[in-house]
Structure 1
């Protein structure tokens, strides 16, 4: 079977000339896929909603632009790219005889369009720094439920798919699995904007190999090598880009800046900066009214962080001002990856030197000298495995067929320990 991808606008017949009251076709010119069409006036309303427009101000790759200058793309770009790929996947599966109703089609596209709407400033970099242990997925769900009220239950099915609760498992897997539309877009997109060619994948080839067997999303066996390339690209991107030591130390430092700001506010120290950011940092204030949380959270974006750093770099508190300057001027701490944790005596030696140099007490030193561990796993056998449909119509897990897994290191988390401390003369 030969499948040709046509870069066309996906628009139902009734929407080919107009959306809403406008006579103009609503399309987005994407540098990755070309023109991306909005499926209907309803989807344009979702994209046009302030909750979604906020994603234009949320960096897709956190502070990676400090390493890769081109990595300034946003969650807005990514969400539209995922919508485009989902349209492709639906078309392929229907072409191969899989039944997807019109209601399921709309729900799939809603779920993937809104899957990251809950991300906060700088995306994963500040995941648990502003709203406790609430994940961006849980906040995305809250946004979807709020929009569902506005649209009188029209998002019910999308929410079920997003939560992985719909009875057709393959629909859930298109939105969230080890080979979903989210991953197919962000690898290709992040590779493009960072300029790291090794992370590029052929998302259209992978989508063309998708099928459904026993109610599960599968990849036809002839797509095996493409899946292996996808996993290798993802592994490379994590260690070379997402966990690059410089962007990692910048994001760790940014978290410490917010910790210091929260500590100062708790002690009654006055801070200028973004009003909405200060509301989330000021623990002495009453908790934000749950009924107003989403609207307040929706005001937060990258600009609030940068604006506050520019104010805090001049603050009288040395720790806050110094760390803010480090981010703004890219005078970041030195960071080194190690296979084993750093020995305690070397650690204490560096703390003593810095304490003497900057006249800081031990609690303040901890903001500048720190250690930790990062890990990544190429493929998991425990969560939504990638299934391969063999030429004999058997369904097997990827690791059973691929020689790619001859090394066990791809199936277990790979960890690196890091140590970070200020450079001399900073």
Structure 2
């Protein structure tokens, strides 16, 4: 009765469960409308205007399609409606923890907190969202069992390491952890959506058919562990998946102007860090890098921080403003050159820890 239909440019008509609609209507999720999916790439590709908001809805949709396909084709797996709903929620909330300009903010935070990942913030943001928006009561109304289902959802958001501890939420259904964040082989619905969505908005053609993959997916026991597998004849389709990923990296994600602009924004953030204060309460503010420790402040942080720094009257922000003005006026840092990194060079640079190395 309270389900909602979304018209998506990638997946067409999407029908979402009432609980998912309630989550979408929270400030924590609405914040994703103001965080660009591709960060600084929008300064290079005018079409790359899509946000984490629509991507997250797309991942929830595909997560539901895959888990329901397994449920209908393999009844012996005992996939319940609770399982289906938890998988969809994990897909919807997996990117709640992204900061301004997506992965760029993660690089900024690593300067002071090297171990921090946006998945960590996603789990914390999810807890904060449930606590402050009455979501817990709605979850129980829809027959989720707390706190175990909350644990299960957060485990799926983080992803299950093949070599890590066994899961707590669904120890007897490890294959469910492959759907949203597959740490085993990287084939998951998060990748299905962002590759299709990014290619669409960037104007780059790709051949991977995620619906065909879902159609042929089955759970098989491999080395005593149940895993999501596909037919051998689907190997060419999977090659298309990783080829599309390669194309997007070469043409967009690692585009030289994109990387230059992102490095300029990162430098501006570092110079503005202590001077651009994020409001925590009526009497308290914190610097930019500390927002990861306060979800209320983090909820207020979006790509708009670019404009806050650029238009601030504070004289302390003059250096950061100078860099952002250069971006606005298309006066970018100059590209000097590139080289192919050999394994020996990679090992040496990692030891010195003085060069950021990016790999496709």
C-alpha displacement of 1:99: 3.2
Aligned 1:7-406 pairs, distance under 5 A: 18-19=1-2, 26-39=4-17, 41-97=18-74, 98-130=77-109, 132-133=112-113, 134-149=116-131, 150=134, 151=136, 153=146, 155-163=150-158, 164=160, 165=167, 166-167=170-171, 168-177=173-182, 178-197=186-205, 199=206, 201-214=208-221, 215-262=226-273, 265=274, 275-276=278-279, 279-281=285-287, 293-311=294-312, 319-339=319-339, 372-377=355-360
1:282–1:104 distance in 2 versus 1, CA, 3 Å:
closer
Q: Tell whether the 8 Å contact from 1:68 to 1:195 is kept in structure 2 after alignment.
A: no
CA distance in 1, matches of 2:270, 2:47: 29
1:100-137 superposed Cα distances (whole Å, 9 cap, x missing partner): 11111111011111000000111001114258422110
1:77–1:204 distance in 2 versus 1, CA, 3 Å:
same
Q: Which has the higher contact order (CA 8 A, sep 6+)?
A: 2
Q: Tell whether the 8 Å contact from 1:92 to 1:208 is kept in structure 2 after alignment.
A: yes
1:31-71 superposed Cα distances (whole Å, 9 cap, x missing partner): 111111112x2111111111001101111000101111010
Which residue in 1 is equivalent to 2:345? none
Task: Provide the TM-score with structure 1 as the length reference.
Answer: 0.67
CA distance in 2, matches of 1:238, 1:249: 15
Q: Tell whether the 8 Å contact from 2:179 to 2:189 is kept in structure 1 after alignment.
A: yes
After the TM superposition, list the runs of 4 or more consecutive aligned residues in structure 1 that deviate by more than 6 angstroms: none
Q: How many residues align?
A: 310
1:233–1:288 distance in 2 versus 1, CA, 3 Å:
closer
C-alpha displacement of 1:275: 4.5
Q: Tell whether the 8 Å contact from 1:161 to 1:172 is kept in structure 2 after alignment.
A: yes
1:370-400 superposed Cα distances (whole Å, 9 cap, x missing partner): x9443224xxxxxxxxxxxxxxxxxxxxxxx
Unaligned runs of 5+ in 2: 138-145, 161-166, 342-353
What root-mean-square deviation, in Å, do the aligned CA atoms of Structure 1 and Structure 2 show? Answer: 2.7
Q: Tell whether the 8 Å contact from 2:60 to 2:88 is kept in structure 1 after alignment.
A: yes
Larger radius of gyration: 1
Secondary structure at 1:311's aligned position in 2?
A: coil
Unaligned runs of 5+ in 1: 1-17, 20-24, 266-270, 342-370, 378-426
CA distance in 1, matches of 2:288, 2:93: 29
1:227–1:96 distance in 2 versus 1, CA, 3 Å:
same
CA distance in 2, matches of 1:222, 1:200: 16
CA distance in 1, matches of 2:292, 2:51: 29
Q: Tell whether the 8 Å contact from 2:278 to 2:287 is kept in structure 1 after alignment.
A: no
CA distance in 2, matches of 1:337, 1:206: 39
- Which structure has more helix as a fraction of its residues? 2
CA distance in 2, matches of 1:288, 1:228: 40
